[in-house]
Amino acid sequence: MAHLQPASPGAAGLAPPLTLMTLPPELLELIALHCACVTPPPKSEPAAAVGDAAPASEAPGEGEAAAPATARAESPSSSSSVASGEASAAASGSSSSYRSEAAPPLPRAADYSAAPPAEATPPSAVRALLMTCRRAHALLNTEANPRLYARIFRTKFDVAAIARRFGPQAVSSRSLCLELQRRCKALKRIRGTVDAGRLRNDSQAVLEENLWLAYLMLLENDGLNLQQLKWAHIDGYLQLHHTQEMLQSAIQAGYPPETPDRALALHLSYLLTDPAELATEPRDVSDEKLFVLRPFVFAAHKFDAYFGPWVVRQLPLRSDEESEPGPRAAPNNPFLADLRPRARATTITHCGQQLAVAPPILSHAACFSFFAKVERDPAVIGLTALQEGEPGPARDDVGRANSNPLLLRSEDHDKDLTRLFACADPRRSLGLKPLFHAGDFEGAWEGRFCFFDFDSYREMLAGRMRSLYEGPFGEQPQVWKVREHIVRVGNGGSMQEGGTGSILNAGYVNGAEEPDQLGDGAYVSPEKVAAARDEAASGSNVEGLRDDKGKKSLNAAVYEGWAKDGRPRDWHLYPSFGDDEEKEASDDPERYEILLSGTGHSAWGRFVLRGRVRSWDGMMIMTKEYRPDGRGRWLYRGYAVAGGRLVGRWRDTFTPDDMSGYEGCFLLSRRDAS
């Protein structure tokens, strides 16, 4: 590697040998980019990731050559095309950059089983290049040349979602350089844990850091990130977590803990589920996983499915003094519902910033995996489905609710991630704009709802854990057809946000007009809805990681105003959702609410749907009343999530809202999203 252009010693008129000491910086940088795509050496020759690059004091002397093993990294046949045309351009003085910003087409589902390509490995050979001589180290180290490592980042990780969600600062050279080092270290750590076969060699903080990185990478995945996770053996890491954490807690007394690592691991497991592999999963493996999922699916009184208490109509509460749901019975009453608002925020590092974000909801991931397994193997159901009345949807149709999660693109996760940032604390988080959710619920839906044996459910509430793990359950297919109605509330309209009726009736008063029969004057015009929807969509997304210059001057008045709104003093460091500036700039007193109406049918008969959407987090609350069969009224609460799905829980409407009622879960898929 020391002589790229050999010359005969002493030959008159020949140029001196082209060495690393005389190469133009542009060509040296292209060589480093070339090395970043090199297949790493065999396991007997361990290589460090770019995050482990040696400091300048450890760089070799000016005349020292690299070890023979590193010299081979210069021209591997597997990646010779990387530097072919561009090296000559740089040598001739061109300033063109090696860029790979455009994400490749997302692979087909069948491609995910293939081994990751050589480019999916950490850029280990770059460190070897830095160790060849002091000049290479001085020009290519992370402090002197963050642009190089940002370019390497773009060849190995997806950046479109980062730029779209967090703005230009998040994809600056300095940010991507730091993020590359952090990701390489974490991915090596994940792979090393799998090789060691022991998850708890790492601390709880390291475990959560690894899972947060993997989760955010999947939510940003447009093809490249998944290959990096495959190189890190993420499937093996999740299997270790299942065996050493999830399964171990399931066989111990009491309920398993609800922790961020469990929520992240379950969501990762679902997002990485290959339906083809799920169809061939051995029965004992499937039974074991269903055993682990049971508490999160059926124990609704222990594992919340909402970002804020479902009985609260308007959030945030903003202060502890404001009214909030509280127990009316003795605290040791096992049937008393715990409806206290809880801050779910945890601090993570992402794109060079410390951010407060809520972990994804654990029970949602459990429902995704649960219904996917039930769909593939109906024999696991313990209760025979009631087949009275007209037949429900065919099993092949409702199978769309479990469409392939591997085919989701990063855009599909934008709203879900925005909600995690905006709704982390029901007391202080600003939440989302009312029309941020417009269009999410309109249309035809099909899927299933699951119900636990009633006697077993009652015993579970009383504390009998054996009933939870052994009680039979059943499921029913159902079809919904939902319409959205945008109305004015508050000062700009005659209606009250959240309604004035019982929360068990979705805020409606018995005998009141249906949402689709309020009269033309109650609804917002389609033109105004479209304009407000565009404003909500642009203002509620994560717009950028801004520094002090991107916000107003941070004087005492600004801090005082933030304190009144319940915002922290470091508010200027958080992603901007547009609400803070746009609310101050807008004089429009109108507020909006999305009302829902519709019909549907299941094997139990036909029913009528009536509900609304809580603006703060997009929680749907809707009654499902069988008419005219008189099979009762049920209350559904849930969210529209990535891939055109509705997930959440239903409950009876006879039990008071401050008591634990009879509950189950549901999952539906938009018909036109399959």
Q: Is pLDDT of 193 > 90?
A: yes
**Residues 120-151: pLDDT tens digits?**
677 777 777 777 778 777 777 888 889 988 99
Angle between helices 224-231 and 173-196 (to 10 degrees): 40
Tokens 């925005």 belong to which residue? 418
| Dist CA 544 CA 578 (whole Å) | 10
Average pLDDT over residues 362-391: 73
Q: Is pLDDT of 571 > 70?
A: no
* 129 and 59 belong to one structural domain: yes
Q: Is pLDDT of 457 > 90?
A: yes
* 571 and 429 belong to one structural domain: no
Q: Residue 122 has what pLDDT?
A: 74
Q: Which amino acid is at 408?
A: L
> Could you say which of 161, 186, 211 is where a domain stops?
186
Question: What phi, psi does 24 have (nearest 5°)?
Answer: -60, 145
DSSP 299-363: -TTTS--SSS-TT-SS----STTS------S-TT-TTB---------EEEEETTEEEEEPPPPHH
Q: Which residue has the higher pLDDT, 107 or 76?
A: 107
Burial class (CB in 10 A: 0-12, 13-18, 19+), 18: middle
* 550 and 630 belong to one structural domain: no
% the chain with pLDDT above 90: 50
Q: Average pLDDT over the chain, rounded to whole?
A: 77
Q: Residue 534 has what pLDDT?
A: 65
Q: Residue 3 has what pLDDT?
A: 46
Q: Residue 434 has what pLDDT?
A: 85
| Dist CA 244 CA 457 (whole Å) | 28
In a domain, 223, yes or no: no
In a domain, 233, yes or no: no
In a domain, 234, yes or no: no
Q: Residue 244 has what pLDDT?
A: 95
| Dist CA 600 CA 609 (whole Å) | 7
Q: Which amino acid is at 15?
A: A
Count CA within 13 A, CB hemisphere, residue 506.
28
In a domain, 103, yes or no: yes
In a domain, 231, yes or no: no
**Residues 471-512: pLDDT tens digits?**
999 999 999 999 999 888 877 556 889 999 999 999 999 877
In a domain, 202, yes or no: no
- DSSP structural state of residue 515: G
* 262 and 408 belong to one structural domain: yes
* 324 and 458 belong to one structural domain: yes
CB 128 within 8 A of CB 72: no
Q: Is pLDDT of 601 > 60?
A: yes
**Residues 231-247: pLDDT tens digits?**
999 999 999 999 999 99
C-alpha to C-alpha distances, 359 to 209, 297, 316, 330, 616, nearest whole angstrom: 12, 18, 18, 31, 17
- DSSP structural state of residue 551: S
Q: Which residue has the higher pLDDT, 451 or 73?
A: 451
Residue 294 banded pLDDT, cuts 50, 70, 90: very high
Of the candidate ranges 265-279, 410-424, 571-585, 641-655, the one whose mean pLDDT is the lowest: 571-585
Full residue range of the structural domain in which residue 557 is found: 545-576
**Residues 612-660: pLDDT tens digits?**
999 999 999 999 999 877 778 999 999 999 999 999 999 999 999 999 9
Q: Is pLDDT of 45 > 80?
A: no
In a domain, 396, yes or no: yes
The DSSP element (H or E) to which 663 belongs, if any, is: strand 663-670
Let me know the angle formed at the C-alpha of 289 by 288 and 292, rounded to the nearest 5 degrees. 90
* 70 and 136 belong to one structural domain: yes
Give the chain's domain count. 3
* 609 and 637 belong to one structural domain: yes
Q: Is pLDDT of 298 > 60?
A: yes
Q: Residue 275 has what pLDDT?
A: 84
Q: Which long-range contacts (CB under 8 A, 24 or more apart) does 651-658 make?
A: 651/300, 653/504, 653/505, 653/623, 657/311, 657/337, 657/339, 657/502, 657/503, 657/504, 658/311, 658/325, 658/327, 658/328, 658/329, 658/336, 658/337, 658/339
* 523 and 569 belong to one structural domain: no
* 560 and 530 belong to one structural domain: no
Q: Residue 326 has what pLDDT?
A: 56
* 387 and 406 belong to one structural domain: yes
Q: Residue 319 has what pLDDT?
A: 61
Q: Is pLDDT of 266 > 60?
A: yes
In a domain, 197, yes or no: no
* 553 and 636 belong to one structural domain: no
Structure tokens at 73: 């990294």
* 324 and 384 belong to one structural domain: yes
**Residues 481-490: pLDDT tens digits?**
999 998 888 7
